[in-house]
């Protein structure tokens, strides 16, 4: 009777623990200024730089900095410059990206986005392929915006099917003065910001640390049997 009870409890624990682990969303977050590559004219900026160009001075960017192409919003800018992140995806799955952004107006509210290997290595600065165009939500203060397809026929949230391991996220200038503070990557594909709850890099527990905590908890459970 004791062995049957212990076996039943063990099975319940394993099922419950497995459900809990599967319900935990993958979360990665990066400061824009920590990109592996930042290619001019895209540069690292601080809030006063925006005011110097006649625009807003968005206070308190995460880490005190952001990335942009300096200058007032102009039609036809943004043909050069990019940032690239080399990102290790902890498990294969479907992912979304949220960016913390400032977009002054209709001439400073877009980037080009390629995430390899899900996307091709096409350079949309040259091809103007709207599949890679992110229409950034406008606003003079830092706010979260999910990366989308800004197509000629409408705007739709983007998702990427990615393998486990190394990926390359390339964010190219499309319009000067569009500001990017940080990015948040998750396998929570909900469209509602409140449901996703995007986090700053300082708020995300590194994957290694999180896995360590789970291992310790499991070891503690085993040691009490």
Looking at the chain, which runs of residues are DSSP E strands?
27-31, 37-39, 43-45, 66-68, 82-89, 93-103, 110-116, 133-135, 139-146, 148-151, 154-157, 160-162, 165-173, 179-186
Give the residues across from 157 on adjacent strands.
148
DSSP 8-state class, residue 118: T
Task: Say what percent of the chain tops pLDDT 90.
Answer: 72
- pLDDT (tens digit per residue) in 95-135: 999 999 999 999 999 999 999 999 999 999 999 999 999 99
Q: How far is CA 213 from CA 52, 97, 145, 207, in A?
A: 46, 26, 31, 10
Q: What is the pLDDT of residue 18?
A: 41
Please give the average per-residue pLDDT across 56-74, as a whole number: 93
Give CA 135 to chain center in angstroms.
15
Residue 187 binned pLDDT confidence (cut-offs 50, 70, 90): very high
Task: Say what percent of the chain tops pLDDT 70.
Answer: 80
Distance (Å, rounded) from C-alpha 201 to C-alpha 142?
15
List, in order of start, the domains of the chain with CATH numbers: 27-199 (2.60.120.260)
């Amino acid at each position: 009777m004791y062995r049957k009870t212990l076996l039943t409890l063990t099975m319940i624990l394993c099922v419950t623990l497995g459900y809990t682990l599967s319900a935990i969303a993958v979360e990665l977050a990066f400061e824009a200024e920590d990109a592996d590559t930042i290619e001019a004219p895209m540069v690292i900026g601080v809030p006063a730089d925006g005011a110097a160009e006649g625009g807003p001075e968005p206070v308190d960017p995460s880490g005190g900095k952001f990335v942009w192409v300096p200058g007032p919003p102009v039609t036809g800018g943004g043909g050069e410059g990019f940032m690239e992140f080399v990102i290790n995806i902890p498990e294969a799955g479907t992912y979304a990206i949220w960016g913390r952004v400032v977009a002054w107006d209709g001439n400073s509210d877009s980037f080009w986005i390629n995430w390899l290997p899900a996307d091709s290595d096409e350079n949309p600065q040259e091809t103007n392929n709207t599949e890679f165009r992110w229409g950034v939500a406008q606003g003079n203060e830092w706010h979260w915006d999910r990366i989308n397809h800004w197509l000629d026929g409408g705007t739709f949230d983007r998702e990427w099917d990615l393998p486990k391991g190394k990926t390359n996220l390339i964010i190219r200038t499309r319009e000067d003065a569009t500001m990017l503070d940080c990015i948040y990557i998750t396998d929570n594909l909900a469209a509602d910001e409140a449901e996703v709850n995007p986090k700053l890099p300082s708020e995300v527990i590194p994957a290694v640390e999180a896995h360590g905590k789970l291992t310790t908890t499991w070891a503690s459970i085993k040691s009490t049997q």
